[in-house]
Structures are given as C-alpha cells and as structure tokens.
Amino acid sequence: MLFLNKEKGVIVNEIRVRIAPSPTGYLHVGTAHTALYNWFFARKNGGKFILRIEDTDIERSTKDMVDIIIESLKWLGIDWDEGPYFQSERYDQYREAANILEKKGYLYRCYCNKEEIEERRDKLISEGKAWKYDRHCLNLTEEQKERYEREGRLFALRFKVPEGITIFSDGLHNEIKRDNSEIEDFVVVRGNGHPTYNFAVVIDDSSMHISHIMRGEDHISNTPKQILIYNALDLDVPKFIHLPLILGEDRSKLSKRKGTVAVTDYRDMGYLPNAFVNFLALLGWSPAGEKEILSREELIDHFSIEALSKRSAIFDKKKLLWINAEYIKHMDAEELYKYVKPLWKKANFDLSLFDHNTLMRVIDLIKERARLLTDFVDSGYYFFREFDNYDEKGVNKHFLNDYSVNYLTLLSGEIEKLDKYSPDVIENLYRKIVEERNISAGKLIHPTRLALTGKTVGPSLFHLMEFVGKNRTLDRIKKAIDFINREND
C-alpha cells in the first residue's frame, strides 16, 4: 500500500512530531504555541519535526497564506526536518486508502444532498430528538444507486461506525472513552473527491510515521473517529497529547474578533522573536524554578510533557510586553541594531548623521526604557530629524506657565558659553543654574526635554543632549521659546 510505504531515513521508534497549519489564514498564535511545544519535544529528544500544509480546502487556501505561515515559523526560529508536505499533492494516497476501506466494507456511498439531510435533521429536532446521520444510504440496492447516478448525484463516502467503545490514552488527560453510538457515520471523502480532515490526517500521520500528535484539546472529539480509521486500516495508533487552548484576557477563546491573533502582527508591532517564543512557551507550562526569562536552549532542555498544565492559559499582554522589554534591555546593541536598522531606514532616518559607534550608543540609551522595537523609532526620531509637534499635556504642564521661557532663555545662553558639550558638563551646568536660582530641577529639566524631543519622557536627558549636539539643542530651545510665545499671545 502506497500510503504505508516506509519513508527513507525513518528510524524505528524515532520520535516524530508535526505541525499542520491550514493556509486559509495567517499563522494563529495558538497554532504557533502548539508548534513550539512539538518543536521543543523533538529537539530535546533527538527526534524529527515535520511541517505539513493542510490545503485540502481549495476555495479558501492561498499561496500567499502558505508563504506567510512559513515566514512566521522562520521568524519564530522554528525549523523543520522534513517538508513542507502539501495535502493537495497527496490525493493518490487518500484515494488508495479509501478504496481499501470501501473494499473491506468500512465505507459506503452516500448520495444524500445537503437539503435532504437538513430536512430530516430539522424534523427530528422538532420532535425533541437528537440528530446524527440516519444511515439513509447504508443499505441502498444497486438499482437505487444506479438511479441516483443517472440523476447526476455525486456521492460522498461515509465511514460505518461499529458498535462498541473507543478508548485512548492521552498524555495529558489520561484515559478518554467515547461510546461509538454517539458517533455518526462520518464522511471521509466528499462528493467532489476531496478527503475530509479526519481522514486525510490519519493517512498523512501514518505515512509520515508520526509517533506523537500534540495538538489543541478542541481535537479531542475528532480523535475517536481517527482511531476508528487507524484500526480499520490496521495502522499503529500514535500517542496523543491534547493541549489546553489559550484564552484571551476575558477568558474566552482567543479569536480575531477579540484581539490580535496572527504571529506576524506581533512581529510588526515590535516584538522580538525570542521574547515572543519565551512568552508563548510559558502559556501552559511552568519550568522548574522561578526563572521566567529563558533562552531557547533552556526552554528545550527543561521542556517535558509531564510539566504541562491541564488548565487553559491566559494570553497576558502586559506580561508579554514585560518579557519583551527585558529582552531588549539585556540585548547587546550590535544585536539589537539588526532589528532596529530596518525600522530606522523605513522611517527615513538619516543614519549618516552618526558613525557606527555613536549609533550603538544611541541604541544603548533608548533601550533602557524601550518595551517594543518600534520604540526605537518613536523614541529615536529626535536624534535624526526635526519635528513640529509637542505632547499636548506636556505643553500645558511644562510650557504654558510663568517660568519656562525665562529658564529656557537662561539655559540657552549658558549652553552657548560651553566649550565642551558632554553629559557630565551639561549636568554640572544644570546643577549650577538650579542652585543659583534656588529652583527645583524639574522646572528646568522637563521644559528642556519637551523642547528637544516633543515628549515628556525619554532617555537620560544629559546623554540625549550630547547626541542631539550643541547647535541642534540651541535651535530646538529657540524653536520652543518661539512656540511658547505664540501660544501665550
């Protein structure tokens, strides 16, 4: 049997896991979470991680989504040992398996159309009875089949569910039982010849020798159907581990309607891949100890199925932001520059204003307060270009008062006298003015920061002034004084 052929290079008892996203949308955070756990498990145990694209939904699957899924996995640093395999290229195997099952009597042809099924279902429900497919086509005569086919009816192939109980052991939920009487005769091949999910996934996982299937717990209801197919084809059943779903902060299922769920969106918002991986890893898993910032190598080394939680984890955006900030804070400037440089170029910053070493110092200055990579643009533009807008609340608090113009004018005059323009010299100048005028430091520092950056918060003011430079500092202070005078007129 073709679909049972042993793949080249497959080792007996080798751990083989997979991730199988559908290219009908972006890579969902939940799918990325599952992919990570499979990847950790394979890497820790010397196994293989396989990428399969489940693209049998021809109408909704697109090449663009395939590209974005692969791009997302690469951004996360998840590499694969085999694939990507595409279900759309494996129809011969599905047809072969279906022929075997039909010959063995496990499948029967169903000519019922959607309207007929809905009519019978609605009638039964109106009588207060539960519905499952009523086996209308199970015992059709050859004459009835021929008549349906003369009418041009397409037929689906349904699996005849046997009597009994289906039992499987789950790596997280222990033993799970399902009475077969609760399972309807499910479709394995649609009228258009395309396999259904529950059928294709069994053939794929068997032919790819998948040893462990780690996926979301929303697939628990599918598992008994899949086991019935495994048994009917005399195939080894893999081990199942069903992971709790990730919930939004309102404790509902994470969905596009209630928040951001695409991995690429988090990349574009300014999250570092290692920080995002670290955060996802901790959703439903608690490594030993209290340490929360873990390298990729540590995550792999500590990972174990036994330590996974049975409870759904909450996607805590504040914690994600904190983890990202910690990664930024502790990253070397040169390493950060690889992420920051494209953002600066996209923002049309003139990087030629500074030499490379100075750019690294700018990064070191900004990163102490940065939480996202995009903060290097938002908190960095005033190093590279002029601006026209000031923070409105800052203007009301630090500009529109009876002292800012006088203090900024005084400061400007003192800065002009400086021969050396370094952080320690600038700081001493501020101390001198504050002490001589007997004023609070804030009355001088806050208006200066607003004048130089347009913002009320940012990196160390004295280092900032050094990078902006003496002449640009004076120009911006003058511009701020003119602005205040216009506002006060």
pLDDT of residue 5: 47
pLDDT in tens, 80-101: 999 999 999 999 999 999 999 9
Q: How confident is the model at residue 61 (pLDDT cuts 50, 70, 90)?
A: confident
122 and 237 part of one domain: no
Residue 180 phi, psi dihedral angles, 5° rounding: -60, -20
Rounded Cα gap, residues 313 and 34, in angstroms: 13
Total domain count for the chain? 4
Q: Is residue 358 part of a domain?
A: yes
Instruction: Indicate if 411 and 322 belong to the same structural domain.
Output: no
Lookup: tokens for 343: 């953002």
What CATH number has the domain bearing residue 291?
Answer: 3.40.50.620
Largest CA distance in the chain: 108
Reported as a single tens digit per residue, the pLDDT across 359-377 is: 999 999 999 999 999 999 9
Percentage of the chain surpassing pLDDT 90?
87
**What range does the domain containing 412 cover?**
392-488
Q: What is the pTM of this model?
A: 0.90
What is the pLDDT, as a whole number, of residue 290?
A: 82
The pLDDT confidence band at residue 344, using thresholds 50, 70 and 90, is: very high
Q: Are 169 and 291 in the same domain?
A: no
Retrieve residue 155's tokens: 């037929």
Domain finish residue from 172, 189, 206 = 189
Please check whether residues 70 and 201 belong to one and the same domain.
yes
CATH number of 136's domain: 3.90.800.10
Which amino acid, residue 427?
E
Instruction: Decide if pLDDT at 4 tops 80.
Output: no
- Note whether residue 131 is domain-resident: yes
Q: Do 128 and 261 fall into the same domain?
A: no
* Mean pLDDT value across residues 464-469: 92
Q: Which of 74, 104, 123, 256 is catalytic?
A: 256
Reply yes or no on whether the pLDDT at 66 is more than 60: yes
Domain contains 211: yes
Last residue of a domain, one of 189, 221, 255: 189
User: Do 302 and 219 have their domain in common?
Assistant: yes
For position 449, which CATH number holds?
1.10.10.350
Let me know if residue 88 belongs to a domain.
Answer: no
Residues 1, 49 within the same domain: yes
pLDDT value for 6: 45
Based on the domain organization, do 6 and 60 belong to the same domain? yes
Q: What is the pLDDT of residues 261-270, one digit of tens each?
A: 899 999 999 9
Are 371 and 396 in the same domain?
no
Last residue of one domain, picked from the residues 314, 330, 346: 330
Identify the band that residue 1 occupies on the pLDDT scale cut at 50, 70 and 90. Answer: very low
Residues 218 and 307 in one domain: yes
163 within domain boundaries? yes
Give the pLDDT of residue 388: 87
Question: CB of 280 within 8 A of CB of 29?
Answer: yes
Instruction: Tell which wins on pLDDT, 46 or 250.
Output: 46
Measured at the alpha carbon of residue 53, what is the angle toward residues 49 and 57, in degrees to the nearest 5? 155
Question: Is the peptide bond prior to 84 cis by the omega test (within 30 degrees of 0)?
Answer: yes
Any domain includes 295: yes
Residue 114 scores a pLDDT above 60: yes
HSE of 314 in the Cβ direction (CA atoms, 13 Å)?
7
Per-residue tokens: 323: 């983890």
Closest CA to 201 of 229, 173, 174, 177: 229
Q: Please indicate whether residue 256 is annotated as part of the active site.
A: yes
How much is the pLDDT for 57? 82
Mean pLDDT across 433-462: 94
Does residue 133 share a domain with residue 117?
A: yes
What are the respective helix, strand and coil percentages of the chain, to the nearest 5? 50, 10, 35
pLDDT at 12: 62
Tens digit of pLDDT for each residue in 384-415?
A: 999 989 999 999 999 999 999 999 999 999 99
pLDDT band at 252, cuts 50/70/90? confident
pLDDT confidence tier of residue 129, bands split at 50, 70 and 90: confident
CA 425 to the chain's CA centroid? 47
Residues 129 and 75 in one domain: no
**Does the residue 270 lie in any domain?**
yes
Pull the structure tokens for residue 398: 């630090």
- Quote the pLDDT of residue 2: 45
What value does the mean pLDDT take over residues 51-69?
91
Question: Contact at 8 Å (CB) between 176 and 159?
Answer: no
* pLDDT tens digits, 6-36: 444 556 689 999 999 999 999 999 999 999 9
Residue 86 lies in a domain: no
User: Using CA atoms, how far apart are residues 479 and 391, in angstroms rounded to an integer?
Assistant: 15
- pLDDT in the model for residue 259: 67
Q: Which pLDDT score, from 0 to 100, does residue 256 have?
A: 66
